[in-house]
Structure 1
Amino acid sequence: MGETRDEVQQAGGEAPILSVPLAQLRRERSSVKWGRYDDDVIPMWIAEMDCTPCPPVVEAVRVAVGRGDTGYAMNQGYIEAFASFVAAEWGWHVDARSAVGVADVLSGVAHLLRLFTDPGGPVVTSVPAYNAFFEVIEACGRRVVEVPLTPGHRLDLDRLATVFGELTATGEPTAYLLSNPHNPTGTVHTAEELAALAGLADAHGVRVVSDEVHGPLVMPTSTFVPYLMVAGTERGLAVTSASKSWNLAGLKAAVVVPGAEAVGDLRRLHPFLTYGASHLGVVAQTAAYRDGREWVHRLVGELDDNRHLLAALVAEHLPGVRLVLPEATFLAWLDLDALGLGPDPALELLRRSRVALSPGPIFGPGNSTCARLNYGTSPDILREAIQRIANSLA
């Protein structure tokens, strides 16, 4: 891959984005990631990176706050910056006039699920799934219908066809909540898989809502395909944000993009909902999309290094642990069954090693031996965390 990050730094280049020391993070960060556990715990659970911020974002927010520009958000410029970014990155041409801004990805998902399903109605998702999917579906008063991924962590299209058919045969309006790329496994769905999903959804009248918040964080060995770029997705919708890729979860804003035949559906949302984005979130994310492309490309390179480092560390220090090498995101899915840690291995590792992982069961049933690890941190912290786990097992 050319020069390592350490070599670049020694040569006087830019410091790595993922280089913040553990002591500095503990001293300076006050988010839930750093506040939930005691100071002796290395937190590798929630989807928040330990990165230095994107300079254009910092400057945009600094200027806005310095000017007292802290009112209500104007979304159109934000949506246009997003449209320009996705056109340059993936050749996805979004009509900015048809998209709407919302507070964040999950609120956008919630609005759409309420729009397309009835109270108590089914929302299908592929498991293991992002744990917040279960929470948002239940908060909407809908019921979760789980369809496992294949053993290779791909969409199980045959099973989805069966479940779609069974649900819609009763006349219940049904939605499918897609994670694209998939969280927690890091799977990048192919264009062929997405087209097949679209065909199934269309055949059964299922509405697809695609969460694409990790889209910019696809590794160099894979290709991200926005759902709405695939043929047959005209009735689908995508919800996305710069929150994960630029580490801006505290600066809330998101975009909902409709397929060509879903524009009218999106207009049925109450206009008040589109005023939910934070103005500073819009300022920050506009700067990220407009001026942060080079930064996020550098970040992906560092994450690519980290995922391979993690794989090497697990192979060396945690024999028997099965790691799914992620194709995207900064999250890795681990099966810890071989460690014999009992019914809640993540909790036992927290007790023994003082490393906090996300426990597998929160991503759906059948994952009791699994855990999700956030490798969006410095290589030094990653090494210390895995070494701690290994030492605690000795």
Structure 2
Amino acid sequence: MSVTVTPLQALPIEQLRQRTSTKWRTYPEDVLPLFVAETDFLPAPTVTAALTRAIELGDTGYTPPDPGIRDAYVGFADRRFGWTVDPARIRTTCDVMMGVVELLRQVTEPGARVIVTPPVYPPFYDCIPEAGAVVERVPLRDTGTAWELDLEGIEAALGAGARAVLLCNPHNPTGTAHSRESLAALAELVEAHGAVVISDEIHAPLVNRGVVFTPFLDASPAAARVGYAVASASKAFNTAGLKCALMVTADDATTAVVRALPAEVEWRTGLFGALAAVAAFSPESDAWLDAQLAALDENRVLLAALLAEHVPGARYRIPDAGFLAWIDVSALGWGDNPAAKILREAKVALHFGPHFGEEGKGHVRLNFGCSPEVLREAIVRLGALASS
């Protein structure tokens, strides 16, 4: 029996402008900020209560060896993904990209090539060199109705010596939830070439209704053997500033690699991040997460209607997951980096498409984790620019 969920309501923009985070302090007040991946909702009540209690107690010291996040994530993964995780195979760190860098340092030699699948989250292009490795681009394939991994291209890159795949699952910016079949096929290729997969699964809790998220480590026995997952509550629960991520494994060999990481990697976990994550991953937060997903589901559909009405030259494919929209506006003649013109002339801040790779030319990324009113105003402004 289906249950009706009341969508979460975003805060009024006047209240949001009192925030001091990047989203609200990068541009002047006449700009609508829909660029960085922060949402406009109040935190889950469980998270607010946990952080409030910590402040009341002066509980602002160092993060303990086991703040409870391992067991909390195990329960969350079981409830939301149907995935059984061994808590002994979880270790924490500061954030997802730090976890990726530290893992890459362990599993690749200096100068090794690491496959990315553009258009992809811009920090991927920075964290690989930070770890001493080199970016190898194998773009996603556009089938005309969806994006998918180019398994033939990945196999060729592995055959030419690439040693790792840095996977985005679900994918940012396209919102693609990779299928179990494609992930299992990827794992077979990677294992055959003696390489590894590091899967960034930060958007995993945000899959839309009717969409199945497959954790990479759960895709197949081969995936469990070759994979590392890095996850966090920070995107789904808007806690990026609190600093906590999890590195998860499913095999003795990969677990040994994570356990061998320097103690300082785990010390970088923020106490508030850990406390917030324990609360976020608890069953008591499920109703709030479902309400947020209902709001995002309405917005992703609303965005399609708004673009069709006001910017008919734009091409947008409704994402499987997340609150980010990948929009092709190349037909409008706004140049390779249209977000610059949109910011300058329409006063709407979107993420710069070319930052996601060559495939991002003529594209923008829009954050629809906001109120319908803000989303509507942003697209009306784009429409006015398109018709000017």
Of residues 164, 173, 184 in structure 1, which corresponds to 2:158? 164
Deviation at 1:119, TM superposition (A): 1.5
Which residue in the other structure is 1:181 paired with? 170
**Deviation string, structure 1 residues 209-238 (Cα, Å, up to 9, x no partner):** 000010010011310011111111122110
Which residue in the other structure is 1:255 paired with? 246
Q: Is the 8 A contact 1:336 1:345 kept in 2?
A: yes
Which residue in the other structure is 1:375 paired with? 368
1:359 aligns with 2:352: yes
Unaligned runs of 5+ in 1: 9-15, 169-173
Q: Is the 8 A contact 1:182 1:188 kept in 2?
A: yes
Within 5 Å, give how 1:217-228 maps onto structure 2.
217-228=206-217
Which residue in the other structure is 2:290 paired with? 297
Q: Is the 8 A contact 2:44 2:280 kept in 1?
A: yes
Which residue in the other structure is 1:11 paired with? none
Task: Give the Cα–Cα distance (whole angstroms) in 1 for the partners of residues 119 and 228 of structure 2.
Answer: 22
Task: Give the Cα–Cα distance (whole angstroms) in 2 for the partners of residues 249 and 75 of structure 1.
Answer: 21
Task: Give the Cα–Cα distance (whole angstroms) in 1 for the partners of residues 46 and 297 of structure 2.
Answer: 23
Q: Is the 8 A contact 1:313 1:386 kept in 2?
A: yes
**Deviation string, structure 1 residues 34-91 (Cα, Å, up to 9, x no partner):** 1111110000000111111111100100001110111111253111101111011122
**255-264 vs 62-71, greater mean Cα deviation:** 255-264
Which residue in the other structure is 1:20 paired with? 11
Task: Give the Cα–Cα distance (whole angstroms) in 2 for the partners of residues 374 and 75 of structure 1.
Answer: 35
Within 5 Å, give how 1:14-163 maps onto structure 2.
16-26=7-17, 28-76=18-66, 77-152=68-143, 153-163=147-157
Q: Is the 8 A contact 2:8 2:294 kept in 1?
A: no
Task: Give the Cα–Cα distance (whole angstroms) in 2 for the partners of residues 221 and 313 of structure 1.
Answer: 23
Q: Is the 8 A contact 1:331 1:375 kept in 2?
A: yes
1:271 aligns with 2:263: yes
Task: Give the Cα–Cα distance (whole angstroms) in 2 for the partners of residues 101 and 343 of structure 1.
Answer: 39
SS of the equivalent of 1:38 reads coil
Task: Give the Cα–Cα distance (whole angstroms) in 2 for the partners of residues 311 and 163 of structure 1.
Answer: 36
**Deviation string, structure 1 residues 346-387 (Cα, Å, up to 9, x no partner):** 100111110010011100113210110000000010000000
Number of residue pairs aligned between Structure 1 and Structure 2: 378
Which residue in the other structure is 2:190 paired with? 201
Which residue in the other structure is 1:349 paired with? 342
SS of the equivalent of 1:127 reads coil
Aligned residues: percent identity?
43
Q: Is the 8 A contact 2:118 2:359 kept in 1?
A: no
Task: Give the Cα–Cα distance (whole angstroms) in 2 for the partners of residues 25 and 225 of structure 1.
Answer: 34
**260-269 vs 156-165, greater mean Cα deviation:** 260-269
Deviating above 6 A after TM superposition, structure 1's stretches of 4 or more consecutive aligned residues are 2-5
Which residue in the other structure is 1:12 paired with? none
Which residue in the other structure is 1:171 paired with? none
Deviation at 1:141, TM superposition (A): 2.3
Of residues 294, 301, 325 in structure 2, which corresponds to 1:308? 301
**Deviation string, structure 1 residues 313-355 (Cα, Å, up to 9, x no partner):** 0111111211021110100100111111123211001111100
Q: Is the 8 A contact 1:235 1:258 kept in 2?
A: no
Q: Is the 8 A contact 2:314 2:329 kept in 1?
A: yes
SS of the equivalent of 2:246 reads strand
Deviation at 1:18, TM superposition (A): 3.6
Task: Give the Cα–Cα distance (whole angstroms) in 2 for the partners of residues 351 and 248 of structure 1.
Answer: 30
Task: Give the Cα–Cα distance (whole angstroms) in 1 for the partners of residues 130 and 255 of structure 2.
Answer: 25
Letter in 2 for 1:50: D
Q: Is the 8 A contact 2:351 2:364 kept in 1?
A: yes
Task: Give the Cα–Cα distance (whole angstroms) in 2 for the partners of residues 322 and 199 of structure 1.
Answer: 34
Letter in 2 for 1:387: V
Of residues 286, 310, 314 in structure 2, which corresponds to 1:317? 310
SS of the equivalent of 1:371 reads strand
Which residue in the other structure is 2:278 paired with? 286
**Deviation string, structure 1 residues 176-211 (Cα, Å, up to 9, x no partner):** 100000000000101001000000100111110000
Deviation at 1:92, TM superposition (A): 1.1
**Deviation string, structure 1 residues 14-50 (Cα, Å, up to 9, x no partner):** xx53421222211x21101111111100000001111
Task: Give the Cα–Cα distance (whole angstroms) in 2 for the partners of residues 278 and 117 of structure 1.
Answer: 27
SS of the equivalent of 2:242 reads coil
Q: Is the 8 A contact 2:190 2:226 kept in 1?
A: no
**Deviation string, structure 1 residues 261-286 (Cα, Å, up to 9, x no partner):** 31111122112211111111111111
Unaligned runs of 5+ in 2: none
- TM-score with structure 2 setting the length: 0.95
Letter in 2 for 1:308: V
Q: Is the 8 A contact 1:75 1:282 kept in 2?
A: no
Task: Give the Cα–Cα distance (whole angstroms) in 1 for the partners of residues 270 and 74 of structure 2.
Answer: 19
Change over 3 Å in CA distance of 1:4–1:226 after alignment to 2: closer
